[in-house]
């Protein structure tokens, strides 16, 4: 019955992944709904989410485009906050940051709507759940490879 045992293990691991993702989304929703708005400083919001490293790992490995927008915004804001620049350049970078922020918020809102359908819709991987993925699966290998290069942005 090795096939049946493997099927049971895979099913059990998939349930662990769903439960884990549901927990991450619940933590995000509790935090966000308690007193924080997406219109506030994006970096601070995501910095303070409970278990933000796992949340960001899932975002970076499962939604690379959305994650890259976030990083582009953060790096631009940090540049603006730490470097002295001419006012015209500062205005240009502010416009850029606002544009990137709006694009990120739009992508992230679409992601949240997708996730609200069910926690299994929250793709990606983190250190906590990587052992529940099948290492022989090509998609899992790709996710695990992305996870190895991930560094939390704050």
What residue ranges do the domains of the chain occupy? 2-149
Diameter over CA atoms, the chain = 71
pLDDT of residue 35: 63
Read off the pTM.
0.86
**Tens-binned pLDDT, residue by residue, of the chain (154 aa):** 676 777 788 889 999 998 999 899 888 888 878 765 555 678 888 888 889 999 999 999 999 999 999 999 999 999 999 999 999 999 999 999 999 999 999 999 999 888 877 656 789 999 999 999 988 899 999 999 999 999 888 8
Dihedral (Cα; 113, 120, 54, 50), 10-degree rounding: 60
Between CA 106 and CA 110 the distance in angstroms is 6
pLDDT of residue 1: 60
Between CA 122 and CA 135 the distance in angstroms is 19
Contact 105, 32 (CB under 8 A): no
pLDDT of residue 37: 56
């Amino acid at each position: 019955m090795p096939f049946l045992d493997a099927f049971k293990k895979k099913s059990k691991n998939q349930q662990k992944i769903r439960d884990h993702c549901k927990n991450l989304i619940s933590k995000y929703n509790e935090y966000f709904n308690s007193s924080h708005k997406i219109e506030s400083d994006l970096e601070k919001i995501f910095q303070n989410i409970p278990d933000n490293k796992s949340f960001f790992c899932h975002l970076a490995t499962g939604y690379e485009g959305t994650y890259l927008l976030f990083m582009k915004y953060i790096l631009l804001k940090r540049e603006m906050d730490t470097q002295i620049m001419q006012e015209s350049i500062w205005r240009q970078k502010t416009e850029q940051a606002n544009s990137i922020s709006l694009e990120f918020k739009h992508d992230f809102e679409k992601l949240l709507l997708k996730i609200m359908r069910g926690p299994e819709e929250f793709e990606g991987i983190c250190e906590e759940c990587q052992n529940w993925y099948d290492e022989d699966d090509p998609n899992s290998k790709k996710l695990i490879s992305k996870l190895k290069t991930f560094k939390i942005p704050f």
